[in-house]
Amino acid sequence: MKVSRREFFKIGSLGIMSLYLNACSGQFFKPERSSKGRVLFPCFDKGIVKIYDWDSGFTSEFPTPLQYTHSAAQGIQNKSEIFLFEEYGSTCAVFDLISKKIKKTIQLPPTEVFYGHGVISNDGMNLITTEHRTTSFDEKSGYLAVRNPSTLEKIYEIPSFGLRAHDICFLDHDTMAVSNHGNNNVLSNVSFISFSKKSLINRVRIEREWGHMGHIIPISKDEIFVSSVLSEMPQTKEIALLQELAKNKGQMGADAKVKLRRSLQWHPSPLYKVHKNGNIKKLWMEEKQGLFKNNFSICAISRREEIYASAHTRSHCVIVWKKWKPFKIIQFDNPLYPAAVAASVDGSELMVATAKGKVRFFSTENYEEIKENSLNLGSGPVHILSLK
């Protein structure tokens, strides 16, 4: 088929105009191959989320009604929906990636708070959020709220079988893994729960006083990788904190959150590989305990090769694990401590979000730094969501 010169230039100009309009609307062409993906940063103290395109380097930001967005989860049936969760806060919201607007917001009553995380069931029909009540201090205070993803209304509750449910994931269509915080009276644990039966499969207690089980990523349908944080908070202070939350309608602002963290005494604490049958493997370096202060974010670089990364905020380092042994330690200068980690879709790069809003990129071939971007992320996110 022959095309005249005039038609050729007409088609070309329309194509360029289409690319321009797509760029203006924030819709970018994504290569079918070699794409490193996009990530979403819930910014700690800025009331915004930021989206970063790994391939183009383009960053966009959008306001949210949340005072402090702790984490985010992506919809399954509708991947343009992003669910945002506060920790020590009363607000949950749904952000739409296409319109770049908040679609829905919900506020909890004063006696209840979101505790940082949520997950969509595998069929996409339910949103399960981690929450706890500010009026009790035992293993009945933590619970999972099963919500309608469209309205965010609570349908029913499932016990978290712990003091405070923090993170949650599905291991298969029915089995959930939940990390529960502890205090000086209640041991922290990981609970494996049947979603359909609303019942406990197994509760794996972690024998550490004041150990808080933190963030989870699934390894298989039977096993998880979970971080932990060992920090001291006297029960009198804990009660005062929960009473303050109740008085302020479940809200804790970012400034108060920062002050709380600075007031705690942080101790070295291991990471764990936990099987739902109760087997625990402690990931730890006895001779270098100082590296394990404030274990926050974890990510999978290559599940097939069993390569993972963990960010240790108070120790100013990232540890790369290979076959569940320390493989590489990346040290950071204070105050650019690491807050969150994520890997590119193809596994070729490791992203580390640090304090002061900087993001550093490392090659996973040798873990040498490739580049550094200043994305103005505030105090640094504690999570990075890889968008699908």
pLDDT value for 275: 97
Cα separation, 278 vs 207, whole angstroms: 13
Query: How high is the pLDDT of residue 10?
Result: 43
The two structure tokens encoding residue 97: 């990636």
Q: Could you tell me if 334 and 293 are in contact, meaning their C-beta atoms sit under 8 angstroms apart?
A: no
Q: How far is residue 284's CA from residue 293's CA, in Å, rounded to a whole number?
A: 11
Mean pLDDT of the chain: 83
The pLDDT assigned to 30 comes to: 40
Tokens 């905020």 belong to residue: 313
Instruction: Look up the CATH number of the domain holding residue 356.
Output: 2.130.10.10
In this structure, is residue 340 part of a structural domain?
yes
How large is the C-alpha radius of gyration of the chain?
Answer: 21
Task: Please give the pLDDT value at position 228.
Answer: 87
Categorize the per-residue pLDDT at 167 as very low, low, confident or very high, splitting at 50, 70 and 90. Answer: very high
Of residues 2 and 140, which shows the higher confidence score? 140
- Count how many domains the chain has: 1
pLDDT of 356 strictly over 60: yes
Q: What percent of the chain has pLDDT over 90?
A: 54
Does some domain include residue 363?
Answer: yes
Average pLDDT on 319-323 reads 97
Cβ(68)–Cβ(245) under 8 Å?
A: no
Confidence of residue 24 (pLDDT cuts 50, 70, 90): very low
How deeply is 199 buried, as exposed, middle or buried, from its count of CB atoms within 10 A (0-12, 13-18, 19+)? exposed
Q: Is residue 40 assigned to a domain? A: no
Higher pLDDT, 287 or 336: 287
Does residue 84 lie within any of the structural domains? Answer: yes
pLDDT of residue 181: 85
Residue 241's pLDDT band (cuts 50, 70, 90): low
User: Which of the residue ranges 11-20, 68-77, 94-103 would you say has the lowest mean pLDDT?
Assistant: 11-20
Once rounded to an integer, what is the mean pLDDT over residues 50-58?
Answer: 93
134 occurs within a structural domain:
yes
- The pLDDT value recorded for residue 309 is 97
Within a domain: residue 103? yes
pLDDT, average across residues 127-141? 83
Domain contains 142:
yes
What's the whole-model pTM score? 0.85
Contact indicator for 89, 66 with CB cutoff of 8 Å? yes
Q: Let me know if residue 227 belongs to a domain.
A: yes
Question: Does the pLDDT of residue 86 top 50, yes or no?
Answer: yes
- Average the pLDDT over 38-64 and give the result: 89
Task: Give the residue-averaged pLDDT of 72-88.
Answer: 94
Run of H or E residues at 223:
strand 223-232
pLDDT band at 44 (very low <50, low <70, confident <90, very high): low
pLDDT score for 186: 76
DSSP class of residue 332 equals -
**Residue 168 structural domain:** 71-376
Q: Which of 209-213, 243-247, 251-255, 277-281 is the most confident on average?
A: 277-281
Q: What tens digit of pLDDT does each residue of 186-196 get? A: 788 999 999 99
Lowest average pLDDT, out of 10-19, 108-117, 193-202, 314-323, goes to 10-19
- Provide the pLDDT for residue 89: 85
> Burial code of 141-163, b = ≥16 C-beta within 10 A, e = fewer?
bbbbbbbebeebebeeebbbbbb
| pLDDT > 80? residue 223 | yes
